[in-house]
Amino acid sequence: MTILSNGHLWKHSEFIENKNFSFDKNKILNSLSKKDIDDAYLSISSWEGYYPTPLIKLDKLSKELNLNKIFYKDESKRFDLKSFKALGGAYAVEKVSNGNKDIVVATATAGNHGRSVAWGARRLGLKCKIFISEFVSDARGQAMADLGADVVKVKGNYEKSLIECIKQSTDNNWQIVQDVAWKDYMIVPKYTMAGYTVMMKEIVDQINKNKITHIILQAGVGGMAGAMVAGIARYLDNVPTTITVEPDSAACVLESIRTGKIEKIDIKRESLMGGMSCGEVSLVPWEILKNSVKHCISLPDDDIAKTMKLLGNSSFSDEPIIAGENSAPGVISLIASCEDENIKQKLKLDQNSNVLVIGCEGDTDKEMYQKLINQN
Taking each helix axis from N to C end, the angle separating 187-196 and 223-235, rounded to the nearest 10 degrees, works out to: 60
pLDDT number for residue 182: 86
Chain segment 113-128, per-residue pLDDT in tens: 999 999 999 999 999 9
pTM of the model: 0.94
Task: Please determine, for residue 112, whether its predicted confidence score (pLDDT) is greater than 90.
Answer: no
Contact present, 24 and 230 (Cβ < 8 Å) = no
pLDDT number for residue 1: 44
Instruction: Set out the domains of the chain in order of their start, with CATH numbers.
Output: 14-83+193-373 (3.40.50.1100), 85-185 (3.40.50.1100)
Chain segment 280-327, per-residue pLDDT in tens: 999 999 999 999 999 999 999 999 999 999 999 999 999 999 999 999
Rounded Cα gap, residues 150 and 122, in angstroms: 12
Chain segment 205-264, per-residue pLDDT in tens: 999 888 999 999 999 899 999 999 999 999 999 999 999 999 999 999 999 999 999 999
Task: List strand residue ranges (DSSP E) for the chain, in order.
Answer: 14-17, 55-57, 69-74, 104-109, 127-133, 150-154, 175-176, 214-218, 241-247, 295-299, 354-359
Long-range CB contacts (within 8 A, 24+) of 336-344 = 336/10, 336/11, 336/12, 336/297, 336/299, 336/303, 337/12, 337/15, 337/297, 338/65, 338/66, 338/67, 339/4, 339/9, 339/10, 340/12, 340/15, 343/12, 343/15
Determine the average pLDDT of the residues in 170-179: 95
pLDDT band (50, 70, 90) for residue 365: confident
Task: For the beta carbon of residue 12, count every other beta carbon within 10 angstroms.
Answer: 21
Chain segment 7-39, per-residue pLDDT in tens: 678 999 999 999 999 999 999 999 999 999 999
Average pLDDT, the chain: 94
